[in-house]
C-alpha cells in the first residue's frame, strides 16, 4: 500500500460520503476528512448555480457542540466578545474565541437554546480544522459546564435564492424564519435543527440532522431541479466574493478581530465592560485603530493574485500580503483579500502584487465583492 493510499484510508468520512461519491464528486483531504472539492459540473458552474438557484453543501466535517450549565452565557463571554445575554432562545450570532493576546483561536456561530432545568444552553458550530483545539479550550477554561460534542450528526447547508422555497416544500416551518435564528423541527420521525444562516452571502440554511437520516434527506432535496450538489471549491469562491474570512488563511491566532474587519461582531456592551480574553488589545485597536487592516483587492487584468503574494505600494515598498485570492465567477474577474498597512487601506489605493517576482497592478476595493442577499423580513 502506498503512502498516498494510507493517507486516504486514514481520512474520516462524513455521513454523506457514499452519496458524494455516487454523485461523481472529486474527493480531497480537508481537515482530516474526505471531502468533495467539486462534482461533475465543475467549480464555475456550481458557483453560478448557487447564486442563481440553490446549492447543497456537505459541511458535516464542522464541529457541533452543546454547552450547558448555570450561568453558561456569562462564562462563555469570558472567551469571546459577544453579548450572549441579549440572545433569546433560537437567536444566534457570529463571534470568535480569543486568546490572551487578542488573537483569534477560531470563529464560530453560537445559538442560545431553551433552558433545561434552569441551566442555560448554547449550540456552537466551529471550524473543522479547529474543533479539537476549540473543545479542549472550552474544557480547560470552563470545566464547570457540560460539553456535549455531536460527533454522530451530519450538517447540510442549502444556499441560494431558491433555498427557502425548496426547504419549505419539505419543512414548511422554515419559510418565515428570520435570518440568524434556529428552530427544532420534528417531521416524519426525524429531528431537524435548522438555522437560517450560511457562508455564501446568499439566503440559506444549515440543517443539523442525525447521521443515519442525512442521506435520505439530502436525496429528497436533490430531487428538486433547483438544487445541485456543491463542493469545497465553489464554497471557497462564494465566500471570497462575499468577503467572508477563512480560518487559517484570513484569520488566525495572530490576527485580532479589529484588524480583520470584524469589529461589527464585538458587542457594544462588551467594548465598554470588557471582561473577555484579549480585551486590552481589542479595546486599544478600536480606540486607536490597528496597524494593519484586512481589505478587498482587485487585480487589473485576468491574472489572479494568489494567497501569499506580497503587496507593495507604488514606491515598491512592501505593505502587506494576500491571504485569499482567485477568480470571482460572478464578476468574471480576479478578486482577493489581504492585509495592508492601515495607511494604505483606503478604497481605490493603488497597489502592486508581486506574482512570480513581477509586479501586477491592482487597487484596494470594497467588500463584499457581490452584495449579500440574506433574508430580511419586510
Residue 9 has what pLDDT?
63
Residue 3 has what pLDDT?
32
Torsion-angle region of 278 (φ positive above 0: left; ψ -120 to 50: alpha; else: beta): left
Structural domains of the chain sorted by starting position, each given as residue range(s) with its CATH number in brackets = 3-57+154-241 (3.30.1360.120), 291-365 (2.40.30.110)
CA distance 218 to 227: 10
Residue 378 has what pLDDT?
63
Residue 30 has what pLDDT?
97
| Helix 163-170 with 211-222: angle, nearest 10 deg | 120
Model pLDDT for residues 157-207, shown as the tens digit of each residue: 999 999 999 999 999 999 999 999 999 999 999 999 999 999 999 999 999
Cell output for 109? 456561530
Model pLDDT for residues 299-311, shown as the tens digit of each residue: 999 999 999 999 9
CA distance 203 to 220: 20
3-state secondary structure the chain: CCHHHHHHHHCEECCCHHHHHHCCCEEEEECCEEEEEECCCCHHHHHHHHHHCEEEEECCCCEEEEEEECCHHHHHCCCCCCCHHHCCCCEEEEEEEECCCCCEEEEEEEEEEEEECCEEEEEEEECHHHHHHHHHHHHHHCCCCEEEECCCEEEEEEECCCHHHHHHHHCHHHCCCCCCEEEEEEECCEEEEEECCCCCCECEEEEEEEHHHHHHHHHHHHCCCCEEEECHHHHHHHHHHCCCCCECCCECCCCCCCCCCCHHHCCHHHHHHCCCCCHHHHHHHHHHCCCEEEEEEEECCCCCCCCCCEEECCCCCEEEEEEEEEEECCCCEEEEEEEEEHHHCCCCCEEEEEECCEEEEEEEECCCCCCCECCCCC
CA atoms in the 13 A half-sphere facing the CB of 99 = 13
Q: What is the mean pLDDT of each run of 10 residues along the chain (378 residues)?
A: 45 98 98 98 98 98 98 98 98 98 98 92 98 98 98 97 98 97 97 98 98 98 98 98 98 98 97 97 98 98 96 95 98 98 98 93 98 90
Amino acid at each position: 500500500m502506498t503512502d498516498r493510499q494510507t493517507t486516504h484510508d486514514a481520512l474520516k468520512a462524513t455521513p454523506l460520503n457514499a452519496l458524494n461519491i455516487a454523485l461523481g464528486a472529486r474527493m480531497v483531504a480537508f481537515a482530516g476528512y474526505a471531502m468533495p472539492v467539486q462534482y461533475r459540473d465543475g467549480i464555475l458552474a456550481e458557483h453560478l448555480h448557487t447564486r442563481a438557484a440553490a446549492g447543497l453543501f456537505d459541511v458535516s466535517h464542522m464541529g457541533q457542540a452543546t454547552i450547558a450549565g448555570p450561568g453558561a452565557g456569562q462564562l462563555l463571554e469570558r472567551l469571546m466578545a459577544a453579548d450572549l445575554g441579549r440572545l433569546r432562545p433560537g437567536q444566534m450570532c457570529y463571534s470568535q474565541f480569543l486568546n490572551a493576546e487578542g488573537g483569534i483561536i477560531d470563529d464560530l456561530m453560537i445559538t442560545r437554546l431553551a433552558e433545561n432545568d434552569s441551566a442555560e444552553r448554547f449550540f456552537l458550530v466551529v471550524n473543522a480544522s479547529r474543533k479539537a483545539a476549540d473543545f479542549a479550550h472550552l474544557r480547560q477554561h470552563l470545566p464547570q459546564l457540560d460539553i456535549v460534542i455531536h460527533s454522530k450528526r451530519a450538517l447540510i447547508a442549502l444556499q441560494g435564492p431558491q433555498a427557502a422555497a425548496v426547504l419549505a416544500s419539505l419543512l414548511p416551518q422554515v419559510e418565515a424564519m428570520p435570518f440568524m435564528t434556529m428552530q427544532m423541527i420534528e417531521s416524519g420521525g426525524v429531528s431537524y435543527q435548522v438555522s437560517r444562516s450560511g457562508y455564501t452571502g446568499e439566503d440559506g440554511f444549515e440543517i443539523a440532522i442525525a447521521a443515519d437520516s442525512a442521506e435520505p434527506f439530502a436525496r429528497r432535496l436533490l430531487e428538486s431541479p433547483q438544487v445541485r450538489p456543491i463542493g469545497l471549491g465553489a464554497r471557497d469562491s462564494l465566500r471570497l466574493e462575499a468577503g467572508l474570512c477563512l480560518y487559517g488563511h484570513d484569520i488566525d491566532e495572530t490576527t485580532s478581530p479589529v484588524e480583520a474587519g470584524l469589529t461589527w461582531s464585538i458587542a457594544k456592551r462588551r467594548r465598554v465592560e470588557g471582561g473577555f480574553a484579549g480585551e486590552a488589545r481589542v479595546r486599544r485597536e478600536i480606540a486607536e485603530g490597528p496597524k494593519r487592516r484586512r481589505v478587498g483587492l482587485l487585480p487589473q487584468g485576468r491574472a489572479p493574485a494568489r494567497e501569499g503574494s506580497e503587496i507593495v505600494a507604488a514606491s515598491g515598498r512592501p505593505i502587506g500580503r494576500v491571504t485569499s485570492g482567485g477568480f470571482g465567477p460572478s464578476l468574471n474577474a480576479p478578486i482577493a483579500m489581504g492585509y495592508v498597512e492601515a495607511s494604505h487601506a483606503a478604497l481605490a489605493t493603488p497597489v502592486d502584487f508581486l506574482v512570480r517576482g513581477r509586479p501586477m497592478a491592482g487597487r484596494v476595493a470594497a467588500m463584499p465583492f457581490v452584495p449579500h442577499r440574506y433574508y430580511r423580513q419586510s
